[in-house]
Amino acid sequence: MEKVRVLVVDDSALVRKLLSAMLDSDPGIEVVGAAADPLIARDKIKQLNPDVLTLDVEMPRMDGLTFLENLMRLRPMPVVMVSSLTERGAEVTLRALEIGAVDFFTKPSSDLANCFAESAQEICTKVKLAARTRPRAYTQVQKIAVPPRLSADAVLPRSQSPGTRGGMRIIAVGASTGGTEAIRVLLEAMPPDAPPIVITQHIPAAFSGPFAVRMNNCSAMRVCEARDGQPIQPGHAYIAPGGEHLLVMWDGAKHVCRLHDGPQVNRHKPSVDVLFRSTAASVGAAAVGVLLTGMGDDGARGLLEMRESGAPTLVQDEASSVVWGMPGAAWKLGAADEKLPLEDIAARLLVLAHQPIAGARRAAS
């Protein structure tokens, strides 16, 4: 078999000497050259055409990562990184593996000769295995900024004294994946004089208006996309606009819809947790909460806050859910009194809405 031709790149003359000698001692490896920095290495790669490069992560004139990116973009070849035993060395090495380095070995901070001798077989094996690989060209990928996961606190602080205001039942509904059809089933079963319903469905801004129109056409209730300051009335259902949080607020004489252009909550806008928290604070025990099918856990903590404020709460069961993420999370959290199939939820909501508000502490209006 042909020997694996290796170019050693390291800013330390001692490391270059010891590493070259160690690799040369393996009958399957030939060290064809050494370089003190990436700029010298660049010229020697052209001259010597090595099979494998050993590359130090921290070097003068050009750091190892920058050189590696350029190398893997312009002339992909097997590279084994030489990493220092530090936290910084670990971070850079992991980044090097992302860029395309095949493997790495650690460089001791002291007693180089003995440590390299003890690791000789492992290092030589890594170099020979690297020679068998065919690295792909590196393409710079635009990183997507992941927004921080915020709680409902980012929009509305939790009320320390939720109470019941207005004496009117309000049903709060949350949903996500599979929710557009689940909401249709729910609204189709509601009579025209049903208690008011406020709805947060995870939906893009361009779709919430047409979705409200579609729901209005299939329900005996009047269904609309919620507007800021709109009074909440029986026989009406209000759907949160895509891209804005929907809150239920008490304005001193009546409950109204409030739209909030705040940050995403649980990486959603609108967020179910925001709707449920506002309902718990301003409606209290007079509310009824229901969490329908959806991915993730948005709404689970808000539903628990509604239950703790005295409101009856329920979730859609797993068998009838497209995704039992949100309702499942609420159920595991102890946020729901009941778990029901989708087809039974509307009837149960009507029963709950017509029950006396037991144990409610009436807040001053």
Q: How far, rounded to the nearest angstrom, does the alpha carbon of residue 167 sit from its chain's CA centroid?
A: 39
Contacts with 38 (C-beta within 8 Å, 6 or more apart), sequence order: 9, 59, 61, 62, 64, 66, 67
Residue in 10, 297, 298, 317 annotated catalytic: 298
Whether residue 342 contacts residue 364, with contact meaning beta carbons closer than 8 Å, is answered with no
Q: Which of 179, 189, 254, 173 lies closest to 221, judged by CA?
A: 189
> Catalytic annotation on 268?
no
> Catalytic annotation on 202?
yes
Residue in 83, 176, 219, 309 annotated catalytic: 176
User: In the 8-state DSSP scheme, what is residue 292?
Assistant: -
3-state secondary structure of 278: helix
Residue in 37, 51, 202, 260 annotated catalytic: 202
Q: What is d(CA 224, CA 237) in angstroms, rounded to the nearest whole number?
A: 6
Determine the residue type at 93.
T
DSSP 233-250: -TTEEEEPPTTSEEEEEE
Q: What is d(CA 197, CA 211) in angstroms, rounded to the nearest whole number?
A: 15
**Counting every residue, how long is the chain?**
365
> Catalytic annotation on 236?
no
Give the E-state strand segments of the chain in sequence order: 4-9, 29-35, 52-56, 79-84, 103-107, 170-175, 197-201, 222-225, 236-239, 245-250, 255-260, 287-291, 313-316, 338-340
Q: Which of 304, 317, 321 lies closest to 151, judged by CA?
A: 304
Q: Which residues are catalytic?
A: 176, 202, 298
